Amino acid sequence: MKLKQSLSVLTAALLLVGAAHAQQAKERVIRVGIGLNDEHPQATAVRKFGDLLKQQSGGKITVRLYPSGQLGNDVTMTSALQGGTLDMTIPDTSTLVSHVKDFGVINLPFSIANEKEADELLDGPFGEKILAKLPEKGLIGLGFWENGFRHVTNSRKPIRKVDDFAGLKLRVIPNPLFVETFKAMGVNGIPMPFPEVFSAMETRTVDGQENPVATILASKFYEVQQHLVLSKHIYSAWVLLMSKKTWDGLSPEEQKMVTTAAQEAKLFERKTIREFSTNAVNELKKNGMTVTELPASEVDALRAKVQPVTARFSNEFGSAAASEMQAELTKIRGKVK
């Protein structure tokens, strides 16, 4: 009985604290733009973030989602945050390299082996250090969300060995690392904003693209693509970003609400996208796609092909950042053993 009474007292105290914070919140609408459609797990997680923030603010802070590139692509929306004309967006880390070079090392081919490594790396000192460089660029990083391991789709042929990549024309993220990685694989990489990808594949302007399976399914790429190879060539993460101008306009109490909601939404997003991704491959097969996996020997051959690219961009993004990431990954792998 005493335990129940204690829990009741604690619950009441937490409600009072929440109510006190809510009283200090102002009526606000936070606009969040994303390139993905409303059915993608990223959009689901934004709505979760909105629900959490609404609860904490007593209904005073509302999040309004603009999906499907309505407000632009990752690059233009990030620029809008810097200018203060948009409140939040969730770009791929690769598109932030022009602001903070260190973000580039996250995408070095075959560097991150699994989701556990990714979580520990990005939630730990390495990830925190990179996010801490964003405010001077007019951006606030509220945490890393998962996009996932990237795989290749195309409309021409199944890929079963490294040589099958040769001659394909694939859309890639507008980032030199991606262009050069695929060039090393014998692919003609075409940089293109995400909202233009479906149409480019539909008109055969490109043969295919590379993205995590969650994006491939949610974007219905199976309607214009026949083949998927689970190449797992690059791990891809997003950053939940807020405009520094928006952040600076919040009270300390409101900033705490945003930070708390962002932390919980991050965990929700990772869980949601991983569950979605687990089922995505079967769904893609049901929708007519052929799915292949590269044998270990072919993965080794692919890793060897892109090694010069990894070495070059490790230097371009910053040898110190690349070394820090590898040291952290070594430490993480040591814990697992």
CB 172 within 8 A of CB 179: yes
Question: How much is the pLDDT for 2?
Answer: 47
Cα 288 to Cα 283: distance, rounded to the nearest angstrom? 9
What is the tens place of the pLDDT at every residue in 40-76?
A: 999 999 999 999 999 999 999 999 999 999 999 999 9
Report the C-alpha gap between 290 and 41 in whole angstroms.
23
The pLDDT, as a whole number, for residue 3 is 44
DSSP states of 294-336 as a string? --HHHHHHHHHHHHHHHHHHHHHH-HHHHHHHHHHHHHHHHHH
Identical fold for domains 2-96+117-146+237-279 and 151-234+281-336, yes or no, is yes
Q: What pLDDT is stored for residue 308 in this prediction?
A: 97
List of residues 6+ apart from 147 with CB closer than 8 A: 92, 212, 214, 215, 236, 237, 238, 273
Residues of the chain whose pLDDT is less than 70? 1-23, 336-337
Domain extent listing, the chain: 2-96+117-146+237-279, 151-234+281-336
The answer to whether the beta carbons of residues 106 and 317 sit under 8 Å apart is no
pLDDT of residue 335: 81
pLDDT at 232: 96
Given CATH 3.40.50.720, say whether it is the number of domain 151-234+281-336: no
CATH of domain 2-96+117-146+237-279: 3.40.190.170
